């Protein structure tokens, strides 16, 4: 089960050749996928040989192989973690029953919706990142961008496989629609708003892979608990790939900060104007980008109170983060959780039934996890001896979903009037001027071992290769 058959048109470890109908359907989808990749995949990259990792097994030890590949020839395939013997449902109303190997009729619509919503984010991020290759700060970074892109493409395959195999004609139609929606398109946008935002520069890209790919991690972790076993096994393997995306984000932002701090110390200044003139991104601008990406991403967890979240949990479709490690009854009836609301011009906590607050539970787990990397960024600043600290904004800041949407809250968690908001928003969120400045730094650096002025080189290369390795051959 764990070995992958690469002799087939669609590499897989699901014995695809034994199900002719499914194989044919996916082989018909494949050229449409490749057309989408040609149209919406990384701009101008078709003839490059890129040092990519490809999954060759689902064995946690040594699952990937590295080598130069032309991206359109990347072997996108279908890889599920091995079946766990006698796996049981471990939360919700069906707790203790055998996990489902097929989709129960009564949960079909909800499962389809969950899979389509997850699937839609994968091609969306490729579309958002499609022009970044033109302004890469180094070959090393270009390679990492392309690695993220091909794996998001594979994540789309992972979801389309489930749709084709378990949802019949509806599933095939959804598979087509996933190739038709476009990030940011007015008439046919991607499903979730954060995936319709632009990723116009590399600071945005690093913030996106740190914060928004981490949302991916949390959604995948919740789905890895699912009673629908094929979904659990698919998402478990996707998580293996996801870890690298967040590494790209965390190390990318860290290197930007490192370079800025170095120039701050050289010039002995914290004046943003002087630092900008010296060609690095001042820390307050980095904070504003952080505020933006954090707030847009925590909206992805959905409304703080949601009857759908309760249904998804109780019916066993979607668990909590690390459901198996928690010591409660895993049914949650009669339990409560605190969510925020505004009363008399102040944020106050309110107890609500936990089942309805499961989006908030997942959001709070995500926030705890996000803070870790921000603290590691602060270590870089601290080590440079600079008295500035980055901070994730209050979770009520700049929200567009749930009770807190429509309330103006400062990054430190005070409800403010429109007037105060308007006066300070330029300190809190990146404005046109910030974005124009960051854009002005973006230029294409592709000589092996060279790096743009605004970012420090990484500590080490990919797969133990040197930093100045030829990660991309442009031909």
Shortest CB 152 distance to Fe ion, Å: 5
Residues 356-395: x where in contact with Fe ion by CB under 5 A, - otherwise, as a string: ----------------------------------------
Strand partners, 353: 336
Quote the CA–CA distance of 182 and 127 in Å, as a whole number.
7
Name which of 165 and 214 has its Cβ closer to Fe ion: 214
Residue with tokens 């203790």: 96
Contact 89, 95 (CB under 8 A): yes
- Neighbouring CB atoms inside 10 A of 62's CB total 8
For the record, the structure tokens of 45 come out as 């990259």
Rounded to an integer, what distance in angstroms lies between the CA atom of residue 451 and that of residue 460? 13
Contact segment (CB under 5 A) with Fe ion among 2-10, 216-224, 258-266, 376-384 equals: 216-224
Q: Report, in Å, the least distance between residue 216 CB and Fe ion.
A: 5
Segment (H or E) for 426: helix 418-428
Site string for Fe ion, 265-304 (x = CB under 5 A): ----------------------------------------
Number of residues that bind Fe ion (CB under 5 A): 7
Pairwise CA distance, residues 308 & 297, whole Å? 20
Pattern 232-261, binding to Fe ion, x per CB under 5 A? ----------x--x----------------
Q: How far is the CB of 277 from Fe ion (least distance, A)?
A: 35
Quick note: the x/- pattern for Fe ion over 153-192, rule CB under 5 A, is --x-------------------------------------
Cβ-proximal residues to 98 (8 Å cutoff; 6+ apart), any chain: 86, 87, 88, 89
Nearer CB in complex with Fe ion: 120/152: 152
What are the backbone angles phi and psi of residue 5, rounded to the nearest 5°?
A: -85, 105
d(CA 121, CA 129): 12
Residues in 98-157 at the binding interface with Fe ion, rule: CB under 5 A: 122, 152, 155
CA distance linking residue 71 with residue 238, whole number of Å: 19
Of residues 230 and 457, the one with the C-beta less far from Fe ion: 230
**Of the ranges 71-79, 173-181, 210-218, 249-257, which one interacts with Fe ion (CB under 5 A)?**
210-218
Answer for which of 127, 174, 201, 213 binds Fe ion (CB under 5 A) is 213
CB count within 10 Å of CB 371 equals 13
Smallest distance, Fe ion to C-beta of residue 463, A: 19
Q: Which is nearer to Fe ion, 133 or 216 (CB)?
A: 216
The H-or-E segment that residue 258 falls in is helix 229-267
In the complex, what is the shortest distance from the CB of residue 314 to Fe ion, in angstroms, rounded to a whole number? 27
Q: CA nearest 260: which of 239, 244, 240, 276?
A: 276
Question: Does position 217 bind Fe ion by CB under 5 A?
Answer: no
Q: In sequence order, what DSSP letters do the residues of 64-97 get, joined into one string?
A: EEEEEEEGGG----B--PPPPTT-B--SSTTTTS
Query: Minimum distance from CB of 208 to Fe ion (Å)?
Result: 9
- Cβ nearer to Fe ion, comparing 250 with 360: 250
Interface contacts to Fe ion, rule CB under 5 A: 122, 152, 155, 213, 216, 242, 245
């Amino acid at each position: 089960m764990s070995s992958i058959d690469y002799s087939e048109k669609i590499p897989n470890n699901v014995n695809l050749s034994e199900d002719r109908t499914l194989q044919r359907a996916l082989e018909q989808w494949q050229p449409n996928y490749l057309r989408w990749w040609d149209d919406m995949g990384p701009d101008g990259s078709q003839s490059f040989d890129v040092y990519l990792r490809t999954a060759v097994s689902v064995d946690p030890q040594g699952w990937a192989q590295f080598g130069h590949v032309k991206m359109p020839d990347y072997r996108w395939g279908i890889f599920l973690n091995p079946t766990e013997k006698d796996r049981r449902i471990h939360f919700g109303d069906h707790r203790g029953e055998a996990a489902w190997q097929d989709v129960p009729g009564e949960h079909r619509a909800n499962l389809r919706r969950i899979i389509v919503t997850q699937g839609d984010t994968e091609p969306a991020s490729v579309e958002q990142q499609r022009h970044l290759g033109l302004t890469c700060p180094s070959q090393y970074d270009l390679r990492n961008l392309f690695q993220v892109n091909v794996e998001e493409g594979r994540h789309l395959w992972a979801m389309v496989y489930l749709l084709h195999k378990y949802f019949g004609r509806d599933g095939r139609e959804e598979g087509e629609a996933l190739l038709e929606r476009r990030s940011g398109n007015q008439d046919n946008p991607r499903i979730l708003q954060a995936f319709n935002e632009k990723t116009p520069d590399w600071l945005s890209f690093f913030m996106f892979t740190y914060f928004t790919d981490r949302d991916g991690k949390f959604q995948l972790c919740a789905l890895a608990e699912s009673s629908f076993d094929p979904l659990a096994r698919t998402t478990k393997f996707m998580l293996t790939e996801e870890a690298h995306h967040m590494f790209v984000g965390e190390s990318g932002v860290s290197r930007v900060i490192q370079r800025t701090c170095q120039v701050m110390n050289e010039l002995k200044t914290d004046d943003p104007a002087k630092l900008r003139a010296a060609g690095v991104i001042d820390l307050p601008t980095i904070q504003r980008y952080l505020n933006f990406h954090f707030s847009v991403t925590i909206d992805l967890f959905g409304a703080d109170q949601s009857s759908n979240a309760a249904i998804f949990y109780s019916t066993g479709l979607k668990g909590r983060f690390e459901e198996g490690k928690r010591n409660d009854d895993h049914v949650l009836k009669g339990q409560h959780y605190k969510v925020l609301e505004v009363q008399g011009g102040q944020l106050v906590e309110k107890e609500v039934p936990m089942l309805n607050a499961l989006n908030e539970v997942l959001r709070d787990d995500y926030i705890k996890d996000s803070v870790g990397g921000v603290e590691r960024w602060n270590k870089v600043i601290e080590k440079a001896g600079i008295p500035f600290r980055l901070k994730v904004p209050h979770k009520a800041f700049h929200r567009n979903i749930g009770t807190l949407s429509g309330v103006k809250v400062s990054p430190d968690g005070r409800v403010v009037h429109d007037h105060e908001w308007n006066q300070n928003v330029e300190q809190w969120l990146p404005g046109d001027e910030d974005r124009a400045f960051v854009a002005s730094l973006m230029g294409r650096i592709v000589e092996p071992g060279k790096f743009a002025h605004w970012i420090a080189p990484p500590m080490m290369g990919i797969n133990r290769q040197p930093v100045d390795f030829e990660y991309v051959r442009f031909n």
